[in-house]
Amino acid sequence: MGISRPSRPVLVTTAATAGALLFTTFTPGTATADPTPRPAVREGSPLGADLAAKVPERAAERALGGTGASGLDSGRGRGYPRERKLTVPPENPADKSLKLGLTPYHGIAPKLNALQRVGDRVSVEIAGRSAGGHELYLVTVTAPETAREAARQERMRERIENAPASAAKDKAITSSYKTPVFINNNIHGNEWEGTDAALKLIEKLAKARDKKSRDLLARHRLYFSVTTNPDGRIAGTRANAGGFDLNRDFITASQPEARAVRRIAIDKQPAVMIDLHGYVNGTLIEPTTPPHGENYEYDLFLKNSYANALGMEAAVNGLGYTEEKDGVLPAVIPFRDQEEGWDDWPPIFTPQYMPFHGAVATHTIEFPMQVNNAAYETQPVAELRRRAAINVDIAGAAMRATLDYTQKHRTSVIADQIEVFRRGATGAEQVPVSEETAPGVPGIGPEDVYTTEFPRAYVIPAGRGQRSATAAARLVDHLLANDVRVERATHGFRLGGRTYAKGSYVVDMHQPKRGLANVMLADGRDISDKVSTMYDISGWSLGRLWGASVDTVRGGGLKGVHARVVHAASDVGHVAPRGDLRLRLDDPREVAALNSLLAKGVTARADGKGGAILPSSARGAAKAAAKKYGVAFDATRAKGREALHRTRVAAAVTPGELFALREMGFDVEPVSTAVLNAGFDWRKADALMVSAGLDRAKLNPAAKSALDAFLAGGGGLVGRGAAGAALNADAGLLAAEPVEGNGDANGVVRVSNAGGTITGGAPGHSFVYSPSWFTDLGPGVRVEQRYGTGDLLLSGHWRATEDGSGGPADAAGRASVVSGSAGGADVVLFGTEPLFRAHPKGVFPQVGRALLSVARS
């Protein structure tokens, strides 16, 4: 690859790094209401460059299962401090923090209540609630502000984003804008110590009287998420109460904790942020190895993040911990010290999401001394507390060094944030990173240069050009919730050689947060040839995977487009006034609507094309469902085929898949090998879905007999991946030989759909993670979907294994989804991963349809 920096060893996973490197395929789903400020008019061009001095409106993102409001106080009309007496949770002696000598969750509120009474610098807000119902505390530390001064700060913040060209020349911003810094802690619940370091720093700043501290707080607002994952902190788990790895949930924002951080990113607009994790020895301090996210303004980002990393490295090493005395290795900066394996390519992590909201220095910090997982159970308490104390010390050093860097470079940091927004608003080209554009950063080579050519606009069509109006509305609301600006055409128009109907949505890419718009809507890139390994997923396109038709406009202007900025997608719920009704099942909301109607006793039949037919007598119930779920019931003369029934699913699946099944309205009973061995009442299930945690070979005789009787009696099976295929084979059901591809592969793939019940009208793309396919198909096995031929990987990372097998060339044209009947059971097997982390929403209905089709009546 022409690496210019010598000796960047590949990251090696060891016992010491396991806590940081291991992750589960926990998954995201829908986002809830999220008020998002945006200007109300455009200037110069659609959503043009400078949109200053407009009072922002608020948009609510609709989501399946209801909406919820942000917990953040808008602060309008209020100054600082904003004291709030927190409710103290009941004491919990089972809190896992206690064993480490750290602050239990129930001990945080009393400390914050006390700190608010120390002087006039500390304010506390409730940023939201966790999946488990625990309050999320956001602490602001700053010098006091009158209501008038706080309003002035807010106007300057809005000008920086919405009028960057004039903000860059505004001397008042240069002299008096308080630079926002965000410190995020404990997003992985069993990586505890950042919380305690933050509490110590907050206390120190609350009491400090030295000139440096007074100047820091006079010119900065410091925001601390004290624990972003209280569920995991209490339980000692990486995931939250829903089983989700929250640091994989950005962009999708299925979980309330991720939505709370997103709200902080939008409302507070941090210029610098750090995210505290464990455990990698020596302390790992980003910036990262290649590949680098191509939608960032990476030249601005790298110069700041590398310089801040050097300061944190010096502070951490300066604590005096050594390998010989303490077991602590010197700090590591991946960009400088490693070749690959710790990249910032996907926008799913907190520090990789924040730059899209203007942060120009973001970091994951991995403190070194492992105290979770096996260490938590096997190490003596005294040793665990020694390690935890070292980690708290190191986390505190990283925090203080970051504040020092921001204080020293306050003016240039804000100038760079403004430049990020200016480039977006004016449609300026990206500036490739180099030793000239990122001075002071050694070893920049061609392997670090990742840029993209932003399109002129994206169009989400209305009318016949739109595959799913329901999916389009969901996508628009999600863009708005992420502070991406969207317009809706007031007249029909022609753009990029295509004609669009009135009501089509336009995402003008001349907007401050164009990087965020593009990272969500673009196809992405096949980076298989760039590096040998990736830290996590490599492809994620919402434009391809969320079920809506999205067109890319590459060039030209938008002068012929008459449109209005929107704050929420238009309602698409509709019921035909007469006749029988057809409900398409092309979106999770449509599946949920059907399941809700079936639960109410409404009669429905499959139409053989993946939809449902309802009698005209169901019109009243359909109207209620259309309003609740935002779906359309069209008139039809079709009579339908087999009856559809409310489907109860026994599910041995990942937490993300469980989330997605419930999002689609299925009654789900989680099962596993252990649950079945303990005795499971199969009368509670109509279908079984298996992707993880169930091995028929490990069932005891009674459990195996009960499972076999369920399948032989007409209970259906939906299998996904190796676990689903193994159960199918072990039970002697469908004759289909599974072939496993490269286990490290993932991304967005092109597929060819056969049509019919499972894939009729399905998108031409799906998602894979450790992909597989099926060969040697027996009589009666139907191929529902195939991988594309030729270049099947649209975006992601998929190589052949060392022996040359398991790559995309082996998968091309092979069956990716198959179905059939065998041994009394209807079976559908997936080699794709259609519910991955509750993300590829446009692919969810394939699983929903499969479950409806295999369920016993």
The predicted model gives 804-822 an average pLDDT of 97
Query: Which whole number is the average pLDDT over 701-705?
Result: 98
Q: For 650-662, how does the pLDDT look when each residue is reduced to its tens digit (9 = 90+)?
A: 999 999 999 999 9
415 pLDDT tier (thresholds 50, 70, 90): very high
**Is residue 498 a contact partner of residue 448, using CB atoms and an 8 Å limit?**
no
Give the model confidence (pLDDT) of 606-654 as tens digits. 999 999 999 999 999 999 999 999 999 999 999 888 999 999 999 999 9
For residue 23, pLDDT beyond 60 = no
Residue 68 has pLDDT above 90, yes or no: no
3-class DSSP state of 234? helix
Q: Does residue 481 sit in helix, strand or coil?
A: helix
pLDDT of residue 76: 66
Answer for the pair 50, 43: CB distance below 8 angstroms, yes or no: yes
Which residue numbers are catalytic?
A: 419
Which residue in 72, 80, 85, 150 sits closest to 121, CA to CA?
A: 80
Supply 562's token pair. Answer: 């008459």
DSSP 640-687: -SSBP---EEEEE--HHHHHHHHHTT-EEEE--HHHHHT---GGG-SE
Q: Averaged over 373-394, what is the pLDDT?
A: 98
pLDDT at 777: 97
**Lookup result for tokens 């399946």:** 64
Give yes or no for residue 434 having a pLDDT over 70.
yes
Burial class (CB in 10 A: 0-12, 13-18, 19+), 374: exposed
**857 falls in which pLDDT band (50, 70, 90)?**
confident
Output 157 or 49, whichever has higher pLDDT: 157
Rounded distance, CA 463 to CA 472, Å?
11
Q: Is the preceding peptide bond at 93 cis, omega within 30 degrees of 0?
A: no
**Tens of pLDDT along 777-810?**
999 999 999 999 999 999 999 999 999 999 999 9
Mean pLDDT, the chain, whole residue set: 92
Burial letters 156-173, b for 16+ CB under 10 A, else e: bbbbbbbbbebbbebeeb
Quick check: 10 pLDDT over 80? no
Residue 296 bridge partners (DSSP): none
The per-residue pLDDT for 75 is: 65
Q: Report the pLDDT averaged over residues 397-409.
A: 98
pLDDT at 43 over 50: no
Greater confidence, 377 or 26?
Answer: 377
Q: What is the pLDDT of residue 856?
A: 79
Percent of the chain exceeding pLDDT 70 equals 91
CATH of domain 83-426: 3.40.630.10
Tell me what pLDDT residue 555 has.
87
- Of the candidates 167, 641, 237, the one whose C-alpha atom is nearest the C-alpha of residue 420 is 167
Measured in Å, how far apart are the chain's first and last C-alpha atoms?
58
pLDDT score of 1: 30
| Among 231, 282, 252, 237, CA closest to 22 | 237
Q: List pLDDT tens digits, range 452-496.
A: 999 999 999 999 999 999 999 999 999 999 999 999 999 999 999
Residues of the chain with CATH 3.40.630.10: 83-426
pLDDT, tens only, 501-524: 999 999 999 999 999 999 999 999
What burial letters (b/e) apply to 465-485, b meaning 16+ CB within 10 Å?
Answer: ebbbbbbbbbbbbbbbbbbbb
Q: How many CA atoms are closer than 13 Å to the CA of 582, on its beta-carbon side? A: 16
Query: Measured between alpha carbons, how far is 585 from 629 in angstroms, rounded to an integer?
Result: 12
Residues of the chain with CATH 3.40.50.880: 648-854
Number of H helices, E strands in the chain: 28, 33
Distances (CA, A) of 837 to 254, 449, 590: 9, 29, 20
Q: pLDDT at residue 239 above 60?
A: yes
DSSP letter assigned to residue 697: G
Distance CA 289, CA 519 (A): 19
448, two tokens: 């670090």
Using left for φ > 0, alpha for ψ between -120 and 50, and beta otherwise, residue 601 falls in left
Is the per-residue pLDDT at 718 higher than 90? yes
CATH of domain 648-854: 3.40.50.880
Residues above pLDDT 90, as percent of the chain: 90
Average pLDDT (89-110) is: 98
- SS3 readout for 348-413: CCHHHHHHHHCCCEEEEEEECCCCCHHHHHHCCHHHHHHHHHHHHHHHHHHHHHHHHHHHHCHHHH
- The count of C-alpha atoms lying within 13 angstroms of the C-alpha of 661, restricted to the half-sphere facing its C-beta, is 27
